[in-house]
Amino acid sequence: MPEWLDIAVRSVLFVALLFFITKWLGKKQISELTFFEYVTGISIGNIGAEVAIGLERNIFHGIIGIVIFAVIPFFAGLISLKSKRFRNFIEGKATVFIKDGKIMEDNLKKERY
């Protein structure tokens, strides 16, 4: 198979795989993503692109890597539904900036805002 055709087939395969994994993990707007989910998404995309272009790499190793990077946040989400301590560790705690119409300057400083 010519190199260009191999890259095209791999790219289509990984775009489809990334689409299905994203649908499986759930829909969220970028502003609603936690840092953990953001880093995971970047890593999954990077693995997909690397395996699609890197012809010397085994395509199944890339699929295994993507599946592992998808399964970990899925289970982290399930555990965070059950455990508040785990959820606070993964997602962090919310910080109140305005309370009763007053700006909480100490909280703004803590968040470097």
- Residue-level pLDDT at 40: 81
> What is the pLDDT at residue 28?
64
CA 6, 9, 22 angle in degrees (round to 5)? Answer: 135
**pLDDT for position 29:** 59
Q: Look up the pTM and report it.
A: 0.60
Q: Contact 51/57 with Cβ under 8 angstroms?
A: yes
| pLDDT at position 79 | 93
Q: Dihedral (C-alpha) 10, 11, 17, 20: value to the nearest 10 degrees?
A: -150
Q: Read off the amino acid at residue 69.
A: F
For residue 28, which phi and psi values (nearest 5 degrees)? -150, 145
For the chain, which residues score pLDDT lower than 50? none
pLDDT (0 to 100) of residue 82: 93
Residue 99 pairs with which residues in a beta bridge? 102
Q: Given this model, what pLDDT does residue 107 score?
A: 85
